[in-house]
Amino acid sequence: MKTASIKKRKRIVVRHVGISGLKRKLAGFEKKYGMSTPAFVKKVWSGELEESNDFIDWLGLAEIYQDMMNGRKA
């Protein structure tokens, strides 16, 4: 996955969505693709998934959520 496009999307999304919104968006991807976010992230970083706009968005949201849970700004 292209890190630059993920970081750009992260900045845009984080301004418009709170933690509850992030959870809803992540749950939507989990339902659509039939896997948990942690399983998805593992597959992305191991190279098991093809790049797509949905996957870029999902990965960006997962990273934003993790950053927010760890008290960091995206």
Distance CA 70, CA 67 (A): 5
Distance CA 32, CA 66 (A): 21
The tens digit of pLDDT for each residue in 2-60 reads: 555 655 555 555 555 678 888 999 999 999 999 999 999 999 999 999 989 999 999 99
User: Is the pTM for the entire model greater than 0.75?
Assistant: no
